[in-house]
Amino acid sequence: MKFLRRLLGTTVPSPMDRLRVTETGSIIDTFRSNSPIWLVRSDTMVSIVNEMSEKLGPDVLRTLRYAARDDWAMMLNESKINWKGTDPSSWRGFDLLWRSDGHLHASLITDDQVARYVVESTSLASLASGSFSAALEHALQNNIRVGVESQNEGVAFLSVEKMEPFGHESPPPVQKNTYDEKISENTLEIDEIETDSDGGLMLFNAHLSIVPFRLFTLWKQSSSHLLPLDDDEATNEWSKHLCESVAKAFIESGEMIMIEDEASWVEVGKNQLSRWGLGIIDSASMLENKLKIRLRSDAKYCIPTGILTACLERATAKRVFPKETRFDSGLELVFDLKG
């Protein structure tokens, strides 16, 4: 049996089997060594990236591709998957892994003896291109150079050139989160989520994507040249842009938010943050037209901050970005509602 497992490679579990929830509002992906993830609507992710492109220029699509490549390279290394060959249709479990991240198809096509690939995604072709580059490199056990010959939002055609055998530079280090095994046994249970015939996740006919938070860290690292500032200034600028992009994407989603009193924010935290892996609201209070929210999250705080900013705008028609104060176990947001 052990020999057969080594021969066939790691079995890829369904997304509902590999995702676990924690008591602090996180969802962790056991296939990514318990890396925390955001379970997000694919069209929301598209909106976020498009807005970042508006703010920082179209090059963020290329740097996102690099980040996706590094994330998948880390995942494939962590999971000990054994793939070989040039055709993804022969890679055991690839389709299930591919679909769970929000993608549709990845195929080898041959035109006049020239091999190319087409990748399709419910989210972004740049994400699919980067992820597939890592998958193909893993299967070939060889460095490759991938050229994007044509691309629209959800589809890309790729050409591939083999380079030197493995020995390339490792992806940038990303801090890992560790969780108690007892906590990580809580399975994901969201009644409205369904799995399609290929293993993709759906919510009311809308596609969902598994997006690890480390992808955002890798994306920022690969985009450093787009923010020619000192490290702290660049981090603050990136966080500001991402927060605003997340807020705009949430507004565009049309989600209805009803706020009656401070207690309503705890429900908002459960429905809009914890349910999707974005953390937990510890407390919410209103005093002298100032709303104070304390939260904890494994995400970059600009992501749940963007969601809460959008929730406030949906409920009150006021666009107010909060002041932030860090404390040992989380973040305090103060929204000034005057005016």
- The stretch 118-146 carries a mean pLDDT of 93
Tokens of 332: 């305090």
Answer yes or no: is pLDDT of 2 > 50: no
Higher pLDDT, 92 or 172: 92
Answer yes or no: is pLDDT of 242 > 80: yes
- The stretch 108-124 carries a mean pLDDT of 85
* Percent of the chain topping pLDDT 90: 58
pLDDT tens digits, one per residue of 17-33: 889 998 889 999 999 99
Answer yes or no: is pLDDT of 315 > 70: yes
Decide: helix, strand or coil at residue 321.
coil
pLDDT tens digits, one per residue of 27-73: 999 999 999 999 999 999 999 999 999 999 999 999 999 999 999 99
Task: Kindly give, in sequence order, each residue whose CB lies less than 8 Å from that of residue 246, ignoring residues fewer than 6 positions away.
Answer: 48, 302, 303, 305, 306, 307, 310
- Fill in the DSSP letter of residue 123: S
**pLDDT recorded at residue 137:** 94
Higher pLDDT, 315 or 1: 315
Mean pLDDT of the chain: 87
**pLDDT recorded at residue 152:** 81
Q: How confident is the model at residue 149 (pLDDT cuts 50, 70, 90)?
A: confident
**pLDDT recorded at residue 53:** 96
Q: How confident is the model at residue 183 (pLDDT cuts 50, 70, 90)?
A: very low
Answer yes or no: is pLDDT of 181 > 90: no
pLDDT tens digits, one per residue of 254-275: 888 888 888 899 999 999 999 9
Task: Kindly give, in sequence order, each residue whose CB lies less than 8 Å from that of residue 333, ignoring residues fewer than 6 positions away.
Answer: 291, 292, 293, 294, 295, 305, 308, 322, 323, 324
**pLDDT recorded at residue 227:** 86
Centre a 10 Å sphere on the Cβ of residue 308 and count the other Cβ atoms it contains: 29
Tokens of 127: 């994400």
Q: Which amino acid would we find at residue 9?
A: G
Q: How confident is the model at residue 78 (pLDDT cuts 50, 70, 90)?
A: confident
66: part of which helix (H) or strand (E)?
helix 59-79
Q: Which of 7-11, 104-108, 271-275 has the lowest mean pLDDT?
A: 7-11
Query: What domains appear along the chain, each with residue ranges and CATH number?
Result: 38-165 (3.90.1520.10), 227-336 (3.90.1520.10)
**pLDDT recorded at residue 136:** 95
Beta bridge partners of 296: 280
pLDDT tens digits, one per residue of 196-231: 877 789 988 899 999 999 999 999 999 988 987 788
Tokens of 270: 């459960």
Q: What are phi and psi of 195, to 5 degrees?
A: -110, 130
Answer yes or no: is pLDDT of 110 > 80: no
Task: Kindly give, in sequence order, each residue whose CB lies less than 8 Å from that of residue 305, ignoring residues fewer than 6 positions away.
Answer: 243, 246, 322, 324, 331, 333
Alpha carbon distance 89, 81 (integer Å): 15
* Percent of the chain topping pLDDT 70: 88
**pLDDT recorded at residue 1:** 38
